[in-house]
Structure 1
Amino acid sequence: MSKNEATTIEIGETSKESKGKAPLLGAAHVEHARAGYKRGVSIFDLVLRISAATAALAATVTMGTTEQTLPFFTQFFQFQASYDDLPSFTFFVIAMSIATGYLVLSVPFSIVCIARPLLTAPRLLLILCDTLTLTLTTSAAASSAAIVYLAHNGNSDANWLAICQQFGDFCRRTSGAVVASFVAVALLIFMVVLSALGLRKH
């Protein structure tokens, strides 16, 4: 065998080996990039989840402890306003309590998504439960916002008087609770979008 033939054989074998390894290295790089992207999404989801739980808890506690009594000439003749006097506010406290409990319990699943970013089952479970919780909190926040609006402005057509001039502290606390609930709603929307992005294959 001549020197030229040996050189030709070595070059041919080297080119075959490089062609076989190149697709494998490219696939590993793509898989690593996908895992990094999904892990970043999961970390951001965890931050939003904790923030939403905090906002929902603040809304629940604020509304659940809202009560104001107006003293008059005698202690036997008083006007009192409490959140449980209105069904919408009672529903608000129950709904936001459920949302708070769910968001706290969902934190471990979000951590699993960070540790195992390529798993789809936890993300699918989170996006389904997040959507249900979003629906519940939105309905509670919207119904309570309507009551707060009536408390501030009344309705002359229905002869409903505004009570916030008398029950100022009551209105301030209920308004703050409604604002906190809408913050939780906005964060839940972002969480649903993030979960959808995390389920993308590419």
Structure 2
Amino acid sequence: MEPSHSTKQTSDTAILIDEPSRSTRGKSAAPVAIAAKTKGGSYQKGGWGRGIAIFDLILRVAALVAALAATTTMGTTDQTLPFFTQFFQFQASYDDLPAFSYFVIANAIASGYLVLSLPFSIVCIVRPHATGARLLLLIFDTMLVAFTTAAAAAAAAIVYLAHNGNQNTNWLAICQQFNDFCQKVSGAVVASFIAAVIFIVLVVLSAIALRRR
């Protein structure tokens, strides 16, 4: 009796994976590349816009300090000469001149606006792509540029006459007598011009931020 041989047959199952063709591979890779590029560009724009917003906030605080300094300095300027007669008292005050009164009002309004604009500037930091807040700041900043520049220029003209006088109109130079008065009003005018320059920079920053979007 012949020994029986058992034969095992093993069958290997091959799973064939079709390799994508060149045309298919190119089409599937393209959206991935585009998506990655779009995500990276969006991130860079957001970071760039947030940097501008932070710089905007710093400039607004600096402009607020300058406008407040101009307002308080001019608004508290008052000097009385130690010598006076029975009928005349030599005194100089900011409210004696309409240009100085307008100067105080304009810088006070600018200070109030800057305080109110700080929350909008913070919104632009949190949401760099917010267009409404940035556009609103751009409009009012442009208005305040003209407002503060006009006030500073009008006061600067009076300060110039106080220092140098004008012989043609018999305007006497009073700064030799009212030295403290002239120093204070001159400092206030300089602070107001600094605030006006910062407003111009803020307008440029807002325009650039809106343009980048």
Q: How does 1:85-96 map to 2 (within 5 A)?
A: 85-96=96-107
Gaps of 5+ in 1: none
Q: Return the structure number with greater relative CO, CA threshold 8 A, min gap 6.
A: 1
Is 1:64 the counterpart of 2:66? The answer is: no
Task: Please tell me whether the aligned partners of residues 99 and 154 of structure 2 are also in contact (alpha carbons under 8 angstroms).
Answer: yes
**Comparing 91-100 with 19-28, which one deviates more in the overlay?**
19-28
Report SS of the residue matched to 2:160: helix
Q: Indicate which of 91, 108, 126 corresponds to 1:80.
A: 91
| TM value normalised by structure 2 | 0.88
Deviations 1:155-180 (A, max 9, x none): 01111100000000000000000000
CA contact (8 A) 2:77 2:93 kept: yes
User: Could you tell me which residue of structure 2 aligns to residue 191 of structure 1?
Assistant: 202
Q: 1:6, CA displacement in angstroms?
A: 3.9
**What is the root-mean-square deviation in Å for CA atoms of aligned residues?**
1.9
Q: Is 1:156 aligned to 2:167, yes or no?
A: yes
**Residue of structure 2 in register with 1:180 after alignment:** 191
Larger C-alpha radius of gyration, 1 or 2?
2
The alignment-based identity, stated in percent, is: 59
Which of 94, 108, 127 is the aligned partner of 2:119?
108
The match for 2:138 among 127, 133, 141 is 127
- Alignment counterpart, residue 177 of structure 2, candidates 157, 160, 166: 166
Kindly indicate whether residue 150 of structure 2 is the aligned counterpart of residue 139 of structure 1. yes
For residues 52 and 22 of structure 1, the distance between their equivalents in structure 2, rounded to whole angstroms, comes to 45
Pairwise CA distance, 1:72: 1.7
Normalised by the length of structure 1, the TM-score is: 0.92
* Distance (Å, rounded) in 2 between the aligned partners of 1:127 and 1:39: 16
What is the CA–CA distance in structure 1 between the aligned matches of 2:20 and 2:165, rounded to whole Å?
A: 92
**In 2: Cα distance, 1:168 partner to 1:45 partner:** 37
- 5+ residue gaps, structure 2: 1-13
Partners in 1 of 2:20 and 2:182 — Cα distance? 88
The answer to which structure has the higher helix fraction is 1
Question: Do structure 1's residue 117 and structure 2's residue 128 form an aligned pair?
Answer: yes
